[in-house]
Chains A and B, each alone.
Chain A
Amino acid sequence: MKSLAELKAIKEKTQAAVGMRQDNEDKIRILVGMATCGIAAGARPVLAALVEEVEKRNLHNVSVSQTGCIGVCQYEPVIEVVAPNEEKVTYVKVTAEKAVRIINDHIVNGNVVTEYTIGSVAK
């Protein structure tokens, strides 16, 4: 069973590593719509997949956060990628699998996954 002693060890390890961490000004922000419409359409597993992938790949310059209704309920789950000096990209009808690809192609390699964007899907 998970013990509080284990948590204490995590705390000590994290504190020791704290000096190595740096806050990046060049943060890429991923926003997930978490209003009723988003949650009903499947935003929770998308959020979980994004968080997991960002951590797995150690992407320190990427933050994942939640936002309210983005206003396109019929295309939920919706996520927005906001990068410095770039136009905001809105992905629609996102799934956990698509989220992983968006991290890989767009966030890591800089290629927008056009087929998942609102512009392509809404046609």
Chain B
Amino acid sequence: MRELSLNILDIVQNSISAGSPIITIKVHESTPKKSMLIEILDEGRGMSAEQVLSVTDPFFTTRTTRKVGMGVPLFKMAAEMTGGSFNINSQLGSGTGVKAEFYSEHIDMTPLGDINQTVAMLIRMNPNIDFVFERSLDEQSFTLDTRELRQILEGVPLDTPDVMAWITEFLEENDKELIGGA
């Protein structure tokens, strides 16, 4: 993928397919560590230990009936190419966490890209799912939590154009403050 925010969009599709009512996306950047940590957490149906292994390493699987997916291996590869790490934590019936660490100054680092468009499109296309987006750079951070927005909106759907415009501006303003303020 050209942008890590596209990998994130893709990995979140798995959480949506797994029936998760709430999905958390975290992007934490550290200047001293020269790293970017990306986490996607869901409360979907989860996977067995064996499933997790077969998903991260498509060659491990003994299954021949189903074609292997590309989404997880691509994200894992993007992290490992930078000398970073990749990990999936999953439990059947309770949910899945995907965690990838990137060394952002490595020559093979993929840029984060338009993370705000990823978050906005996820909210827009999945109005019944709650999303928590956490972004930080060193000590500074901001959070968008659709559960808080719903409390204010009292039944007005998140995919209402004016609400989506507010969300997009909220993301862009906070992004600018975070990155510009560094």
| A interface residues, Cβ below 8 angstroms from B | 1-2, 4, 6-8, 10-11, 13-15, 34-37, 39-40, 44-45, 47-48, 51, 55, 64-66
Contact A10 B163 (CB under 8 A): yes
> With a CB–CB cut-off of 8 A, which chain A residues contact B160?
10, 14
Query: Which residues of A lie under 8 Å from residue B166 when comparing CB positions?
Result: 2, 6-7, 10
Which residues of chain A are within 8 angstroms of B6 by Cβ–Cβ distance?
A: 39-40, 44
Provide the B142-182 mask, 1 if CB < 8 A to any CB of A, else 0.
Answer: 00000011001110100011111010011001100100000
Q: How far is the CB of A38 from chain B (nearest CB, A)?
A: 9
Among B69, B74, B121, B153, which residue has its beta carbon within 8 angstroms of that of A47? B121
Residue count of chain B within 8 Å CB distance of chain A: 34
Q: Which of A14, A35, A36, A48 contacts B117 (CB 8 A)?
A: A48
Chain B residues with CB under 8 Å of chain A are 1-2, 6, 9-10, 13, 69-71, 74, 114, 117-118, 120-121, 124-125, 148-149, 152-154, 156, 160-164, 166, 169-170, 173-174, 177
Please pick, from A2, A44, A66, the residue contacting B169 in the complex, using a CB distance under 8 A: A2
The interface residues of chain B lying within 8 Å CB-to-CB of A34 are 9, 13, 125
Distance in angstroms from A55 CB to nearest chain B CB is 5
Taking CB atoms, residues of chain A closer than 8 Å to B70 are 36-37
Given known pairs A13-B162, A39-B1, the reply for A44 and B156 (CB within 8 Å) is no
Q: Which residues of A contact B118 (CB under 8 A)?
A: 44
A44–B152 CB distance below 8 A: no
A1-B118 Cα distance, complex, nearest whole Å: 21
**Which residues of chain A are near B125, meaning CB under 8 Å?**
34, 47, 64-66
